Structure 1
Amino acid sequence: MTSRSYFLAGAALLTLIATPAFAAEAPAAAAEDPAFAPEDQTSIGTGQRDDEVITVTARRRQETSQDVPLAISVVGGEHIDSTGSFNVGRLQQLTPTLQFYSSNPRNTAVNIRGLGVPFGLTNDGIEQGVGIYVDDVYNSRVASATFDFLDVAQVEVLRGPQGTLYGKNTTAGAINITTRQPTFDFEGRAEISLGNYGFKQAKAAVSGPLTETLAARVALSTTSRRGTIYNVTTNRWIQSQDNLGLRGQLLFKPSEAFNLTLAADFSEQDAVCCGSVFVRTGTTQRATNRQFAALAAAQGYAVPSLNPFARVTDLDAALQAGNKIGGVSLKANWDVGPGTLTSVTAWRFWDWRPQNDRDFTGLPIVTRSQNPSQQDQYTQELRFNYSGDGLDFVVGAFGFHQRIDTQGTEAHGSASTRWNLAPTNALYNSNVLDGLTARNTQYLKNTSLALFGQASWKVTPEITLQPGVRLNYDKKDGFYQRRVFTGTGTEIVIGGPSSAVTTAQLAIFTPQTIAPKFSDWNFSYDFTASYKATRDVLLYATYAKTFKSGGINQNGVPVDAANNPILAAATVKPESVDHYELGVKTEFLDRRAILNVSLFRTDIKDYQANVNNGQFGVLRGYLANAGAVRSQGLEWDFSVRPSERFNAFVNGAYTDATYRKFTDAPCPPELSGGTSSPANCDISGQRLPGVSKWSFSFGAEGNVPAQLLGKSGEVYLGYDGSYRSNFSSNPTPSRYTWVDGYSLSNFRVGFRTEEGFDIYGWVRNAFKKDYFEQLFVGPGNTGLIAGLPGDPRTWGATVRAVF
């Protein structure tokens, strides 16, 4: 379908949707009734029962979400708490086009509409395409935003490019998290949850005045849970939770025209994590005696269970996922008469301490795999916001500097030689690979500067034109060095003495030193036209031209026949993005119902793809540019509250995200490993990894008046569910790594009062659905497929009080 026919179809669809809404305009009496005011509606698409005013800051100013010409989902804090969505990973069950994948905190991807972060092992040399903001502070790495939500007021998921105002390469969208702020009236909240698998969670927050001009707020949370996979080698449960979060804020407000907020937070995760289970094997192009079954039999090895949902593993390497995140920010707002001047200054840190088992088996093949990292990030944003009768605008500047240091170690054990060398090799029965160790040192210095602006010109009371621009400069300086040592501690160098032994060792780990650099300017712009057809119908159309900064390979690059690094692969080009969107936002049934629909298409040239190498230690994965990618589809958010006793929501998305041109992609495992296997494959037209064509979230809640323990309130029953169709769990689609579609159902029943007391029981994954979050291709093209099962059925109870 051409661009023109695509938008003609979209315009026709919007016309059909908007037509009944014209007739559904609320009568004057309803419009004057505060119960039906738009700000008292439930959060868009969640059906939640929040009585707070629902406003958003998607355009860096307070306004109701129905007035914003943008595809946006808003989830309020109360709904986050009641549905157990205590982190970004859980949030995806409420927002269909948000995808979250995590094999451990560092290797985490957050995508919107199938775009954002290359699927696979993390490479620090590129940016994420989904910006994550907490109280206006940018979190530059997805891994640094894997904390539990702490005292959150609401979360906005902005879909589509946000490069004008949110910048820093937000080509897929942004997640805007707002926490509860200090108050000059004393208030507090406390919550305790207990459940199966030893689940314990406690949250508390208190806020109030210290003086007439100074207020404070302190919040904490702690979460722990036993693991869901049993390791028969260590006799321990893995995939546990052990999280701690703290946040403190001071608000200085000497006048109505000025306020200053100092905030500090700290989050620590120290789980026994992260592992996998055996899922299946698939035939590759290797010789039969080099396939997984023959390799395992040769060493007398058998997997602990052929049923992945027995949740049993035998990983023999140490597992650890220590994660510390925190920082300090200072935010000032100053009403200077014609507008508001805002300054946000922040420092954030991230300390990652991992240990992994990268062979996915109980054999001592890879006995140590770890890449601890430390990050420091500094940001400064200044912006001026003006609102007038006919014109609103925001202008500003943004500065960013980041340093990441990583120290990696990967070591092979006693089973490595016979696993990696053919039986015909004279060294097959030796131990030449036992103790072989690679030590990696790398750093990244990343600097970015930007000027931006966006205006909303009200041509008439009904028509608004919104242009936006951003000028961005990015500079990256990197360093990567791999040194290789034998089991006796002798260093192996390129050009040194050559022998059959060193040839075998260099096939596993190749020494390499590179110092890639990248710098570039880019100019992003967008234009949105909106039409307020009636009080309750908003139509809009958007075009955006934006970029994701180019990058550098921080995990090493491929080598030539002489084992020299191919320096042309050290950098990757910027992504160039063209985005088109049509949308309609409607309210009807006396504003008791909301239906928002968006039709979108995003074309990307030089898409930054993650390329995984099949060998054990040659590369952990490197970056390359695919020729072109397209994501297009349809989304809708529907919520209804016919009375105070019932509300419901149904959100959905159809996403068609494919490689339009990728002729030199890595081949899937079924075409890899043989002497005549192709060096690369053409996967043009195939689906991007992690993308379900169909995804839905839905739910409802009903209540009746009741009394409990002498308190008047209501008994309620709530349900929320989600469905997603199948998706590929490998950068190149493989018949071995398609994850079947699945549906999850969660229930809650409880009693609450208007004073803020709430007690309820809950069950999640109520029907005990077996499903995978991810599948992994084992190294070496042996045909091994490992996986990460999703959570089993969990249940528990929560008591919450607000005072």
Structure 2
Amino acid sequence: MKAFVKAALFAGAAWSAVPALAQAQVAAEEPGLVEELVVTARRREESLKDVPVAVTALSGERLAATGAVDLTTLQQSTPNTTVQVARGSNSTLISFIRGVGQQDPLWGFEPGVGLYIDDVYIARPQGAVLDIFDIERVEVLRGPQGTLYGRNTIGGAIKYVTAKIEGEPELKLKGQVGSYDQRDIVASAKGRVNDYVGVGLTWASFNRDGFGKNIVTGAEHYDKDVTAARATLEFTPTEDLFFRLAGDIVTDRSNPRHGHRELPTLNVLGQPVPGGEVLDDVYDTRAGSGDHNFVEARGVSFLGEWNVNDVITLKSISAYRAGETEGTIDFDAEQAPYLDIPARYNDHQFTQELQLLYSGDRLQGVFGVYYLNATAAGAFDTVLGQLNTTTATAGHVDTESWSVFGDVSYDVTEQLSLSVGGRYTRDEKTGQVYRQNFTGLKSPLFGNNLAVPGLLRSNFTSSDTYEKFTPRVSASYEISPDLTGYVSYSQGFKSGGFDMRADQILTPDSADGYQPEKVQSYEGGLKGYFFDRRLTLNTAVFYAKYEDQQVTIQTPVGTSIASQVLNVGKSHMYGLEVEGSAVLADSLTANFSLGYIKAEFDEYQAFNPATGQTEDFADSRVFQNTPDWNGSVNLTYTHDLGDNGSIAFIPSASYRSSFNMFEVPSILDQDGYWLVDASVVWTSADDKYRVGLHGRNLTDEEYRIGGYNFPGGLFGNSVTAYYGPPRTVTLSLEAKF
């Protein structure tokens, strides 16, 4: 608890310093008000100030005004959060919150941060880098949410929330042009057809040339070719009944995203390869494994809501989702197939959730049951061109999960509220894994029927059951009408499973699978308004114990790669988070955030293939994608033009300190960096027309967001990196009819 006290002292300093700064800057005349945000972090609408959870809520209006592109924008303004595009991908999501997440997006490996679209859980990360359009808000819940959200929200949850259809029919058209021949179109129509029926339709197309080139094939590299559509039908037969049927589809035909070679190419003898030098432009590549890529994610959901009376509401949320991925990852970023991975994935899931919401004078609560039936499958080849060999891998994981949950809050007094909740989860999983050596470039799985079969490395089917009860308790105290403090204790649970790369020859125990991981989190916070509601400040301190942490380890061994998903042991994390908004003058507002986290391994038990022994590597291992510090500041200056509308200038800057790509430090690790953005937005007086000019990464910072680390001549010295977007400028035009 010493670390927790230390974090609390940091937060205390923040509370004393930030209000003092605001007091010096906020003008006394004609005070304005900061926006009061309403969130659904506890599955019911509440003011953000009253929720005993660390939540960042960003409205769709604010995201659009700052030129936000997709969900990866969240990491610039959300404390202790990483949201990025996965290495070797255009639309696969990698998320970490407070050190907990998932970098390995292989089928069957569960995420550590739950993603929800209108309370529907998205089980797989492929196609989950959602573009920002036609939404009401995005909420980021930090810390374990194992009670109300349950499934794999051990680090937190990201909620993508769309708005109910209200008002007269409206047509909205938005077009964007910009750097690298950017061409985006979003068209939406929504409104009430009559008193009972509302309809919404949205279609979007996002296109852009590449930031670089594939100098071998001439193809655009880091390009974008995405189409998306969403349709919603709402039916309100009475004041107490509401139904929503919604469907969405996203298709990504962008070229494969290959890496940039960070070291010169070496052959199997460790000698430099002519023409294998490091390219000057970090967005260029020499990858020769092909330019085909296709990702599609689609789903349909049905919500039914019945207000039984003034205090009881019943909800049913049914959903089905599916997706496919076809592509290739060129690990070596060279024309020759030193280490190439053609791959395909597919998945589908059905979920059903029933909720009972109670809202009395002093007692509020949510109770429910949840069911998931899902299959994730895939196949890939590991091609080692210098040896003319391929290792074929294929398999699937079937998951059937059910849980019951409840969370109750009771107002003991007008100031004091106590909450208690819990969730029981039971997962039944069956994993099938096939892995075999072939002589030849590619296996029959990817069209080479002439490949000669070799050693069968794995061919097993295993099943296991994982169950866990995850409680949560919290206490909130209203210090004043504008200031609330809270403390909480919660647990999170992420299901176990089976390594889809399991190699029974190199790691015989891999067929047994790996066990669930668990987090226990202690949190305290203060949320409130100051200076006649011209400043809002939300802070949290936390201390967490992380047990049985699941880590994917891929170690080169001879002419193969030993893959292991291991429960490596124990770790702890502590830190603080500060975020808020301030009205500095009648026409000037500010948003700011600050996150600090210290994450350390206490035990890291892993098998060392070189020695054949299990060893403790805690002293030499670090957390991945978890910078110690991150923060942001955003200003909005608005000038009223009278009948000619208004114009807003929105500069912003964000910072992330140095961080590691993997648990083992490497040359791929990223130094600290700043990102500077700015937008100028004109809005007509009747709010029907809007023109925006958005500049992102204006200093043209080069920063890594992922990579592969396979040094040595056998693998072509394949140390490759993936980079965040360069400087871009976008002109947007929007009209409502």
TM over 0.5: yes
Is 1:312 the counterpart of 2:284? The answer is yes
Q: Pick from 727, 739, 742: which aligns with 2:673?
A: 742
Aligned to 2:709: 777
C-alpha displacement at 1:581, in angstroms?
A: 0.6
Match of 1:163 in 2: 146
Per-residue displacement from partner, 1:485-541 (whole Å, max 9, x unpaired)?
A: 3339999xxxxxxxxx99xx97xx753212122202210101011111001111110
How far does the alpha carbon of each residue in 1:215-249 deviate from its partner, in whole angstroms, 9 at most, with x for none? 10111211111111211111122111111110000
Amino acid at match of 2:555: N
Alignment of 1:203-214 (within 5 A): 203-214=186-197
- 2:719, 2:144 → 1: CA distance? 35
d(CA) in 2 for partners of 1:190 and 1:619? 51
Contact 1:705 1:714 in 2 (8 A): yes
CA RMSD of aligned residues (A): 3.0
Correspondent of 2:721 among 780, 787, 797: 787
Is 1:391 the counterpart of 2:376 in the alignment?
Answer: no
Q: Matched residues in 1 for 2:4 and 2:341: separation? A: 50
**Percent of aligned pairs with the same amino acid:** 26
Show the counterpart of 2:275: 302
Deviations 1:278-336 (A, max 9, x none): 1136xxxxxxxxxx546588584322545353x33211111333110111100011001
Partner residue of 1:420? none
In structure 1, distance between residues paired with 2:131 and 2:370: 27
Instruction: Looking at secondary structure, tell me which structure has more strand per residue.
Output: 2
Separation of aligned partners in 2, 1:743 and 1:91: 15
The offset of 1:22, in angstroms, is 11
**Cα deviation code 1:36-62 (max 9, x no counterpart):** 4xxxx33xxxxxxxxxx7311001111
Distance of 1:221 and 1:685 partners within structure 2:
47
Residue 317 and residue 244 in structure 1: after superposition, are their counterparts in 2 closer, same or farther (change >3 A)?
Answer: same
Q: For the Cα contact (< 8 Å) 1:473–1:519, is it kept in 2?
A: yes
Q: Rate the CA distance shift 1:729–1:25 in 2: closer, same or farther, 3 A.
A: closer
Contact 1:100 1:110 in 2 (8 A): yes
Counterpart among 194, 205, 214 of residue 222 in structure 1: 205
Kept in 2: contact 1:612–1:666 (CA 8 A)? no
Deviation for aligned residue 1:697: 1.6
- Cα distance 1:342–1:162, how it changes in 2: closer, same or farther (>3 A)? same
In 1, distance between residues paired with 2:97 and 2:607?
23
Cα distance in 2, alignment partners of residues 369 and 343 from structure 1:
42
Q: CA deviation at 1:172?
A: 0.6
Change (3 A) 1:265 1:107: closer
Counterpart for residue 731 of structure 2? 797
Q: How far is 1:559 from its partner?
A: 2.1
* Distance change in 2, residues 1:642/1:514 (3 Å): same
1:720 aligns with 2:705: no
SS at match of 2:287: coil
**C-alpha spacing 1:185/1:556, structure 2 compared with 1 (3 Å):** same
Deviations 1:105-141 (A, max 9, x none): 5764211112122x3x433333212111111111012
Q: Give 3-state SS (helix, strand or coil) of 2:132's partner.
A: coil
Deviations 1:542-571 (A, max 9, x none): 1113322222112223524xxxx6135531
1:437 shift after superposition: 3.5
> Tell me, what secondary structure is at the counterpart of 2:225?
strand
TM-score using structure 2 length: 0.91
**CA separation in 2, counterparts of 1:695 and 1:16?**
17
Selected match of 1:751 from 666, 678, 682: 682
Name the CA shift for 1:393/1:300 in 2 (closer, same or farther; >3 Å). Answer: closer
Q: Where do 1:74-93 residues align within 5 Å?
A: 74-93=57-76
Correspondence 1:322 to 2:294: yes
Q: Identify unmatched segments of 5+ residues in structure 1.
A: 27-32, 43-52, 282-291, 418-432, 492-500, 668-674
Tell me, yes or no, if the aligned pair for 1:156 and 1:176 is still in contact at 8 Å.
yes
Alignment partner of 1:443 is 2:389: no
Going from structure 1 to structure 2, the CA distance change for 1:312 and 1:713 (only over 3 Å counts) comes to same
Partner residue of 2:341? 369
- Equivalences for 1:656-735 in 2 at 5 Å? 656-664=598-606, 682-684=617-619, 686-706=621-641, 711-734=643-666
SS in 2 for 1:775: strand
CA distance in 1, matches of 2:21, 2:334: 61
Report the Cα offset of residue 25 of structure 1: 14
Secondary structure of 1:469's aligned partner: strand
SS at match of 1:250: strand
Deviation digits for residues 657-689 of structure 1 (CA, Å, limit 9, x no counterpart): 22221142669xxxxxxx889986613374201
Q: Distance in 2 between matches of 1:764 and 1:106?
A: 20
State yes or no: 1:631 paired with 2:573. yes
User: In the alignment, is the contact (CA less than 8 A) between 2:8 and 2:541 conserved in 1?
Assistant: no
- Residue 204 of structure 2 aligns to which amino acid in structure 1? S
TM-score where L is the length of structure 1: 0.84
* 3-state secondary structure, aligned to 2:686: coil
CA contact (8 A) 1:611 1:666 kept: no
- Judged with a 3 Å threshold, the aligned counterparts in structure 2 of structure 1 residues 489 and 296 are, in CA distance, closer, same or farther, namely closer
Partner in structure 2 of residue 496 of structure 1? none
Q: CA deviation at 1:802?
A: 3.5
Distance verdict in 2 for CA 1:569–1:297, change over 3 Å: closer
Aligned-partner Cα distance in 1 for 2:4–2:249: 47
Contact 2:682 2:691 in 1 (8 A): yes
Rounded to whole Å, the distance in 1 between the matches of 2:381 and 2:276 is: 26
* Residue of structure 1 equivalent to 2:543: 601
Letter in 2 for 1:113: R
Q: Please say if 1:652 is aligned against 2:584.
A: no
> 1:63-100: per-residue Cα shift (whole Å, max 9, x none)?
11111111110011012222232322222122132202
**Residue in structure 1 matched with residue 448 of structure 2 by the alignment:** none
Query: Partner of 1:421 in structure 2?
Result: none
- 1:263-292 deviations in Å (ceiling 9; x for gaps): 0111101101211111136xxxxxxxxxx5
Aligned twin of 1:544: 490
Could you tell me which runs of 5 or more consecutive residues in structure 2 were left unpaired when the two chains were aligned: 24-29, 445-450
Structure 1 residue 177 displacement after superposition: 1.1
Asked whether 1:456 is paired with 2:409, we answer yes
Task: Judge conservation of contact 2:462–2:511 (CA < 8 Å) in 1.
Answer: no
Cα distance in 1 for partners of 2:537, 2:111 equals 30
SS in 2 for 1:61: coil
- Partner Cα separation in structure 2 for residue 536 and residue 488 of structure 1: 67
Aligned equivalents of 1:61, 1:381: Cα separation in 2: 15
User: Which of 157, 161, 182 does residue 165 from structure 2 map onto?
Assistant: 182
**1:350 counterpart letter in structure 2:** G
1:486 corresponding residue in structure 2: 439
- Judged with a 3 Å threshold, the aligned counterparts in structure 2 of structure 1 residues 540 and 372 are, in CA distance, closer, same or farther, namely same
Query: What secondary structure sits across from 2:136 in the alignment?
Result: strand
DSSP-derived class of the 1:738 partner: coil
What is the match of residue 330 of structure 2?
357
Query: How far apart in 1 are the matches of 2:413 and 2:263?
Result: 62
1:343-395 CA distances to partner (integer Å, 9 max, x unpaired)?
000000111111221333222334x5222111110000000111111110110
Residue 461 (structure 2) pairs with residue 527 (structure 1): no
The Cα of 1:754 is off from its aligned counterpart by 4.0
Instruction: Verify the 8 A CA contact 2:90 2:257 in the aligned structure 1.
Output: no
> Does the 8 Å contact 1:689/1:733 carry over to 2?
no
- Tell me, in whole angstroms, the C-alpha distance in 1 between the residues paired with 2:92 and 2:276: 25
1:641 CA drift (Å)? 1.5
1:671 aligns with: none
Going from structure 1 to structure 2, the CA distance change for 1:12 and 1:406 (only over 3 Å counts) comes to closer
Higher CA-based Rg:
1
Question: How far does residue 717 in structure 1 lie from its aligned partner after superposition?
Answer: 1.1
Quote the residue 2:698 is aligned against. 766
Matching residue's letter, 2:322? F
Offset of 1:396 from its aligned partner?
0.4
Matching residue of 2:26: none
Whole-Å Cα distance in 1 between the matches of residues 233 and 472 of structure 2?
A: 37
Residue of structure 2 equivalent to 1:476: 429
Aligned residues: 721
CA offsets per residue over residues 756-779 of structure 1, 9 Å max, x none?
Answer: 221121211111112222232126
User: 2: CA distance between counterparts of 1:470 and 1:457?
Assistant: 18
> Would you say the 8 A contact 1:319–1:356 is kept in 2?
no
Corresponding letter in the other structure for 2:664: T
Q: Deviations over 1:121-179 (max 9, x none)?
A: 43333321211111111101222422323411100000001010011021110011111
Aligned-pair distance for 1:781?
6.8
- What amino acid sits opposite 2:619 in the alignment? S
